[in-house]
C-alpha cells in the first residue's frame, strides 16, 4: 500500500496525470490531422450517374464460351473508390475498383485495370471486338501516377513519387481503349491472350474521367478445331493449363474426351514425369529424392554428370521435352 506524504504532493501528482493525459490527447489529434492531410478524404463514385453509390460491389462478369469459335465476356460495374492523395501540397485522386489492380506504367496515371487470360486454339487466328454503352463523364480529376513497385526488403524505403509531366499534358484518353490485348504468352505450347479491362479512361489534359458501367468484348477465333494436343501432356499438366483462362472449360472438355477414348495414353521416348539434374557429388541425394517420388507414383529420370554448363543443363531438359510424349511436368536441379 502506497500513501502520499501530504495533500500538496497528492495534488501535484493528480495535476501531472491530468497534464499527461491532455498532452497525449493533443498528440493523437495532431497525428490524426497529419494523417488525414496526407491521405485526404475517401468516397464512392457511381458508374451509373447517381450522386452517391450505394456500396462497393464486386464487378459482375459473365461469359459465353463458344469453344474454338471464341468467347463473349460482359462486365458490369457499380462503383469505384476515390481517395485523395497529397504530394507536396499537390492534390491527386486515386481510383480503385474492388478486385482490380492498376496499370503500372510508372509516372503515368494509375488507372484501375484487370487482366483476363483467354486461351487461343492451336493454330487459330483471333480478333477482338469491343462494345460498350455511352461513358459517364466526370470532371475535376488529377489521377495519382503509378510508382515503382515497393521492394520486399526489410527497411527498404517507400517508392519515390514519380510523374511524367509531359504525359499529363496529353489531350487523349488513357488507356486509349477500355479493352485491349496487352500481349500473348505461351505455356507448354498453349497461347493465352492477356486481355486488359479498363472501365475508367482518363484525359490528363482536361481532367475528365470516362466511366463505363457496362463493357462487352468478344474474342473470335478462326481456322482451328482444337485448343491443344492432349496426347502431348499429362493429366496434371492439362488440369493446370485449363485453370488459367476464363474459357478453361473448353480445354477440360477436350481433356475429358481424350482420356475417355485413350484410357492408357501412348508414351514415347521413355517419357517421365520428373527430371532431376544433379552433379555426381550429389547423386546419392538425387537417388533418394527419386525413390521418394516413385513411391508417390511419379516416374523419374536422374541425369548426373561430373560437371555442367548452362548450355548442357538447357539441352538436357529441352531434348527430353521435345522427344517425350507426354511432356515432363517437373524439373529439379540439385547442386551447391
Q: What does 102-142 look like in DSSP terms, one character per residue?
A: E---BTSB--EEEEEEEEE-TT-EEEEEEEE-PPEEE----
List all residues 6 or more positions away from 278 whose beta carbon is below 8 Å from its beta carbon.
285, 286, 302, 303, 304, 333, 334, 335
Task: Please tell me the predicted confidence (pLDDT) of residue 94.
Answer: 98
Whether 65 contacts 74, CB under 8 Å: no
Q: Do residues 159 and 28 both lie within one domain?
A: no
What is the CB neighbour count within 10 angstroms for residue 306? 7
For helices 248-261 and 235-243, angle between their N-to-C axes, nearest 10 degrees: 160
With respect to residue 105, please indicate whether it lies within any of the assigned structural domains.
Answer: yes
Helix (H, G, I), strand (E, B) or coil at 334: strand
pLDDT tens across 195-209, in order? 999 999 999 999 999
Helix (H, G, I), strand (E, B) or coil at 329: coil
Task: Please tell me the predicted confidence (pLDDT) of residue 13.
Answer: 43
pLDDT tens-digit profile, the chain (336 residues)? 333 334 444 444 444 444 444 454 444 434 443 444 355 688 999 998 765 555 678 899 999 999 999 999 999 999 999 999 999 999 999 999 999 999 999 999 999 999 999 999 999 999 999 998 899 999 999 999 999 998 888 888 889 999 999 999 999 999 999 999 999 999 999 999 999 999 999 999 999 999 999 999 999 999 999 999 999 998 889 999 999 999 999 999 999 999 888 866 666 668 899 999 999 999 999 999 999 999 999 999 999 999 999 999 999 999 999 999 899 999 999 988
Task: Please tell me the predicted confidence (pLDDT) of residue 265.
Answer: 60
Q: Do residues 286 and 157 both lie within one domain?
A: no
With respect to residue 165, please indicate whether it lies within any of the assigned structural domains.
Answer: yes
With respect to residue 305, please indicate whether it lies within any of the assigned structural domains.
Answer: yes
> Given CA atoms 294, 300, 305, 309 in this order, what sign does their dihedral have?
negative
| Burial call 59-79: b when 16+ CB within 10 Å, e when fewer | beeeeebebbebbbbebbbbb
Task: Please tell me the predicted confidence (pLDDT) of residue 9.
Answer: 44
Q: Do residues 60 and 131 both lie within one domain?
A: yes
With respect to residue 232, please indicate whether it lies within any of the assigned structural domains.
Answer: no
Q: Do residues 311 and 182 both lie within one domain?
A: no
Residue with cell 501528482: 13
Whole-angstrom Cα distance, residue 70 to residue 121? 9
Last residue of a domain, one of 176, 196, 227: 227
With respect to residue 306, please indicate whether it lies within any of the assigned structural domains.
Answer: yes
Whole-angstrom Cα distance, residue 122 to residue 221? 10
Whole-angstrom Cα distance, residue 117 to residue 311? 32
Q: Do residues 17 and 59 both lie within one domain?
A: no
Reported as half-sphere exposure (CB side, CA atoms, 13 A), residue 297 has a value of 1
Tell me the pTM: 0.80
With respect to residue 3, please indicate whether it lies within any of the assigned structural domains.
Answer: no
Task: Please tell me the predicted confidence (pLDDT) of residue 53.
Answer: 55
Task: Please tell me the predicted confidence (pLDDT) of residue 54.
Answer: 59
With respect to residue 278, please indicate whether it lies within any of the assigned structural domains.
Answer: yes
- Tally the domains of the chain: 3
β-pair type (79-87, 90-96):
antiparallel
Task: Please tell me the predicted confidence (pLDDT) of residue 8.
Answer: 42
Q: Do residues 48 and 35 both lie within one domain?
A: no
Q: Do residues 102 and 193 both lie within one domain?
A: yes
Task: Please tell me the predicted confidence (pLDDT) of residue 264.
Answer: 63
> What residues make up the domain containing 25?
10-39
Q: Do residues 285 and 197 both lie within one domain?
A: no
Q: Do residues 107 and 47 both lie within one domain?
A: yes
Amino acid at each position: 500500500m502506497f500513501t502520499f506524504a501530504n495533500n500538496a504532493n497528492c495534488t501535484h501528482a493528480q495535476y501531472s496525470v491530468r497534464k499527461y493525459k491532455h498532452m497525449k490527447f493533443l498528440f493523437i489529434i495532431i497525428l490524426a490531422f497529419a494523417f488525414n492531410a496526407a491521405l485526404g478524404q475517401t468516397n464512392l463514385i457511381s458508374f451509373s450517374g447517381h450522386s452517391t453509390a450505394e456500396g462497393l460491389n464486386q464487378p459482375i462478369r459473365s461469359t459465353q464460351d463458344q469453344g474454338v469459335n471464341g468467347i463473349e465476356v460482359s462486365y458490369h460495374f457499380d462503383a469505384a473508390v476515390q481517395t485523395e492523395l497529397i504530394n507536396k501540397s499537390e492534390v491527386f485522386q486515386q481510383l480503385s475498383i474492388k478486385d482490380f489492380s492498376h496499370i503500372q506504367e510508372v509516372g503515368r496515371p494509375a488507372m484501375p485495370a484487370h487482366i483476363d487470360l483467354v486461351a487461343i486454339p492451336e493454330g487459330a487466328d483471333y480478333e477482338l471486338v469491343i462494345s460498350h454503352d455511352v461513358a459517364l463523364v466526370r470532371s475535376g480529376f488529377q489521377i495519382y501516377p503509378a510508382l515503382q513497385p515497393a521492394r520486399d526488403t526489410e527497411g527498404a524505403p517507400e517508392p519515390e513519387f514519380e510523374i511524367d509531366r509531359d504525359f499529363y499534358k496529353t489531350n487523349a484518353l488513357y488507356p486509349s481503349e477500355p479493352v485491349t490485348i496487352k500481349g500473348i504468352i505461351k505455356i507448354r505450347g498453349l497461347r493465352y491472350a492477356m486481355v486488359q479491362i479498363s472501365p475508367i479512361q482518363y484525359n490528363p489534359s482536361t481532367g475528365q474521367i470516362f466511366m463505363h458501367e457496362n463493357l462487352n468484348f468478344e474474342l473470335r477465333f478462326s481456322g482451328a478445331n482444337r485448343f491443344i494436343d492432349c496426347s502431348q501432356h499429362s493429366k496434371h499438366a492439362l488440369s493446370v493449363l485449363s485453370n488459367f483462362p476464363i474459357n478453361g472449360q473448353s480445354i477440360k472438355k477436350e481433356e475429358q474426351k481424350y482420356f475417355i477414348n485413350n484410357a492408357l495414353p501412348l508414351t514415347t521416348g521413355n517419357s517421365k514425369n520428373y527430371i532431376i539434374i544433379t552433379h555426381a557429388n550429389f547423386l546419392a541425394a538425387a537417388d533418394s529424392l527419386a525413390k521418394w517420388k516413385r513411391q508417390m507414383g511419379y516416374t523419374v529420370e536422374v541425369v548426373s554428370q561430373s560437371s555442367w554448363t548452362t548450355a548442357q543443363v538447357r539441352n538436357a531438359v529441352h531434348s527430353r521435352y521435345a522427344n517425350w510424349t507426354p511432356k515432363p511436368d517437373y524439373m529439379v536441379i540439385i547442386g551447391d
